[in-house]
Structure 1
């Protein structure tokens, strides 16, 4: 294990091989749903579901491997939720473009992303984020994780009258999720190693005993990726009508991934004076994954907020990410086993991480409303619009506007003005996403 120590600097980060492997397994279990959900959503756009399943696993593995080996961060990547819905229901079904043209748009946005990462423009953007917004991003991601977890557990459900309401707490999945949450919090408080993983496994076992969960076996042969491999249509994506689609993909990818990287790194204690040491390497991993994913046949690949669960389980280095990547590749053959973990089993883990991430709001300068209000706007808009990018966008716009209206416009970094103007353009001209 000596080479692992040297390569990943495990001792320096206060971790060991066992902790990293458990953290990787924890992250994987909280995000494994994507290998089943992504083919379902992109299938609605007319894409072959079996090929998308393979593309999802391989794109996630490639992006996460680059993140682990090149950037040495415990952050996993996979096709992003929200971006896949925009791809299927907005671009293909809504605007009438072919899925091949939409993949071309993802490819071009990934190339733009790669260019601004290589020229360190993206790093300048991130380093220009004001402290209050940076703090709020972590808290906002916590709130976002919270609403995802409560929805997956069946504790919160949709309501036509009040938008959201309390779910049916007589249902077994909701009760198991609540039990799992208390198990995880108690074990973590008692300093039990692998507390989050134990909670997930415990709820999964109980789901077979009392919730009617069915075991579908362990091994299955992977289907062919040929129907989607290199089927992207770049020339169609370069037509004038779809350029606004490329811009939306680009902006959402940029700020979704940026928010996730900052939030998870902050939770792991990997920020130094508010900055990520190997930020550009992490950004290159992200942009490489988008380009590779579009070639394989899936919508935009991005950093996953569920990585925070692995970080809470002790993951601090790229070894955690490599574990996730290996498990995604294994999923090509063990999809039935991965599918046996229900969403309500991982929901307690995400909800606990959500609770912990909200402590970041303590760092906001509450006495200055030009700092605190944009921070709160950032945090609240993430769960309420179901988008990290929207939260960051409204945070930037409100920060610039409030500083300007109170005669403190000179305090606003140039990068903030540029980003705020870009987002105003996106919402006014493109209508958001």
Structure 2
């Protein structure tokens, strides 16, 4: 029955392979539970309630994309857009977190409407191929940078912003040792290589003091706390300009970040035909985010880890969703997995994604230079949507300057105008 539902044979995969890939995706992205709850707490959402909201949102997103799109993509509250929720919408624009949740709900409805109309295909088709490949490569570099930071190999520096980590500390050494093990397993095509790498990294950290297996800590939550968050949207400011500016900002980020991420990940899985339904599932899960009390979901960058582990169908996403549901019971144990065990997986996947640069036409500056801006700006701004914006603004500008303005479709000009409007609105 499972084989028929997810068409495993047709995709050249198996239950074991999909379950393993789902577990890899889960262990590389489970950090979002605590991190997202902490960022939501900065907006005023109780931390314990934020944990439950994050888990429920992730479970819903993964089940939606798994059953509706039969896609291995994992939908969780996104890093970056959660900061937009707490620090821009709430602290910057003066919305309460309840009003910000209402903006999330409306933006989710709007993106869902777009995803079920020909507009979604028009938007996807209007993105030049060179920029699509650049988005994938830029996300790969971003993922690599996140991995280097998590592993202590790159650290903050007052003089140079970032610097090489201190090898006198255990963390970067454990990261590099785990990376070596993971790399060997991957090159030798060992089944479950990334999951084995995470397990090996956790064991190494336990042996050399990077984590303590006996100290699981504790975590408790109150149903009463969560009851105050579920369905707590407030439309008190729905008639104000600031509310609709917030909605516009969310729609722009959700739509284009989702288009970029989903396209790149499905290209990696060699399943581009799943794009439309995957985008629809992603949009519908944003509606669930508003209802459950979380910042919006996006396709997790770490979905690439599950895809690299052989995930090809929705069973990968469903497995990740089930594990998220169980995480509330085992959160103290999951928190034992150290960053030094997760970082090598992110670095390796980033390397796989950067290969897309070979598809960029480097003999045409009007194509490769906007692509270069995206590749550089995504990791350097720590924002996928801001990095995309620079490339989408440069593309029509260079085409016009070179007398090739006819090569740019009207939709691409509209997209560039939307990105420019977003910059202007955030500068006001």
Given the two structures, how large is their TM-score scaled by the length of structure 1?
Answer: 0.95
Cα contact 1:219–1:337 (8 A) shared by 2:
no
Alignment of 1:149-164 (within 5 A): 149-164=147-162
Q: Deviations over 1:305-364 (max 9, x none)?
A: 100001111111100000000001011211112211122211100100111111110111
- Is residue 325 of structure 2 the alignment partner of residue 352 of structure 1? no
Counterpart CA distance in 2 for 1:48 and 1:221 is 13
Aligned to 2:232: 231
Alignment of 1:188-337 (within 5 A): 188-215=186-213, 216-217=215-216, 223-224=222-223, 225-270=226-271, 276-337=272-333
- Is residue 126 of structure 2 the alignment partner of residue 125 of structure 1? no
**TM-aligned CA distance change 1:219 to 1:43, over 3 Å:** closer
Cα contact 1:221–1:333 (8 A) shared by 2:
no
Cα contact 1:156–1:165 (8 A) shared by 2:
yes
1:83 to 62, 81, 84: 81
**TM-aligned CA distance change 1:269 to 1:219, over 3 Å:** farther
Structure 1, unaligned runs of 5 or more: 271-275
1:399 to 380, 391, 395: 395
SS at match of 1:164: strand
Aligned to 2:18: 20
**TM-aligned CA distance change 1:247 to 1:369, over 3 Å:** same
- Is residue 183 of structure 2 the alignment partner of residue 185 of structure 1? yes
Root-mean-square deviation over aligned CA pairs: 1.6
**TM-aligned CA distance change 1:238 to 1:122, over 3 Å:** farther
Counterpart CA distance in 1 for 2:239 and 2:10 is 47
Q: Deviations over 1:153-193 (max 9, x none)?
A: 11111222212111222211111111111111111111111
SS at match of 2:237: helix
Counterpart CA distance in 1 for 2:238 and 2:137 is 36
Counterpart CA distance in 2 for 1:358 and 1:378 is 12
Query: How far apart are 1:297 and its partner, in Å?
Result: 0.7
Cα contact 1:120–1:280 (8 A) shared by 2:
no
Query: How far apart are 1:256 and its partner, in Å?
Result: 1.4
Counterpart CA distance in 2 for 1:39 and 1:236 is 25
Counterpart CA distance in 1 for 2:305 and 2:371 is 23
Counterpart CA distance in 1 for 2:192 and 2:217 is 23
Structure 2, unaligned runs of 5 or more: none
Counterpart CA distance in 2 for 1:214 and 1:298 is 31
Query: How far apart are 1:239 and its partner, in Å?
Result: 2.0
Counterpart CA distance in 2 for 1:47 and 1:238 is 24
Given the two structures, how large is their TM-score scaled by the length of structure 2?
Answer: 0.96
Cα contact 1:146–1:354 (8 A) shared by 2:
yes
Aligned to 1:142: 140
Query: How far apart are 1:79 and its partner, in Å?
Result: 0.7
Cα contact 2:49–2:221 (8 A) shared by 1:
no
2:62 to 61, 64, 83: 64
Aligned to 1:108: 106
SS at match of 2:163: strand
Cα contact 1:108–1:234 (8 A) shared by 2:
no
